């Protein structure tokens, strides 16, 4: 958030605050330093995606692996690349030998001050089944990149929402 003489917290919950700044209302995260999002491709040119029910939209969403940085007690100063490694492993069960930062930008500039840092994960090794932490129920998908558009269209036709960050991350990674 930028400094302002008219900065007022309207509501503070466990994970989010609603703030008014010079008459503009927006959400801000509590207990996190940012968001990481990972485009991960195997050596066989397969894209790792995750699927989970998202209560804010009331739908199942297909996404790239992502999560919060600095949200674990004792790790508040966690580096974004470290958070990206942690989230990739937690959600997909894959470890990456290389995690390259691609770009940083707002998730929804009119709604929140949240910034997402995108990473490309390569040299992947399957370590476990993934599926998220105890608060998550994540399905992992490994889709051949040349078939991705058709597969995503099929998922959308079946009623699942497709997060547009998938396309943005692929573009950032030059895929």
Q: Under a CB-based contact definition with an 8 Å cutoff, are residues 148 and 171 in contact?
A: no
**Beta-bridge partners for 38:** 119
> Of 139, 121, 111, whose CA–CA distance to 80 is shortest?
121
Question: Is 136 a known active-site residue?
Answer: no
Instruction: Give the DSSP H or E segment for 13.
Output: none
| Cα–Cα–Cα angle for 98, 61, 128, rounded to 5 degrees | 40
DSSP 147: G
Among the options 59, 63, 134, 147, which is catalytic?
A: 134
Pairing of strands 94-106, 161-162: unpaired
Q: Tell me how long the chain is.
A: 175
> Of 169, 32, 37, 170, whose CA–CA distance to 113 is shortest?
32
Report the catalytic residues. Answer: 134
């Amino acid at each position: 958030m930028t400094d302002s003489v008219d900065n007022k917290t309207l509501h503070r919950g466990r994970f989010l605050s609603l703030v008014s700044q010079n008459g503009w209302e927006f959400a801000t995260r509590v207990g996190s330093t940012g968001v990481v999002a990972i485009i991960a491709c195997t050596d066989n040119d397969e894209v790792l995606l995750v699927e989970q029910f998202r209560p804010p939209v009331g739908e199942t969403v297909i996404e790239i692996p992502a999560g919060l940085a600095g949200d674990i007690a004792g790790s508040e100063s966690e580096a974004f690349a470290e958070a990206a490694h942690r989230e990739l492993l937690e959600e997909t069960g894959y470890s990456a030998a290389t995690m390259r930062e691609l770009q940083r930008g707002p998730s929804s500039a009119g709604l929140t001050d949240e910034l997402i840092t995108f990473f490309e994960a390569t040299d992947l090794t399957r370590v476990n089944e993934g599926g998220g932490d105890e608060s998550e129920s994540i399905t992992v998908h490994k889709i051949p990149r040349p078939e991705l558009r058709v597969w995503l269209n099929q998922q959308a036709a079946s009623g699942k929402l497709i997060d547009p960050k998938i396309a943005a991350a692929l573009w950032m990674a030059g895929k």
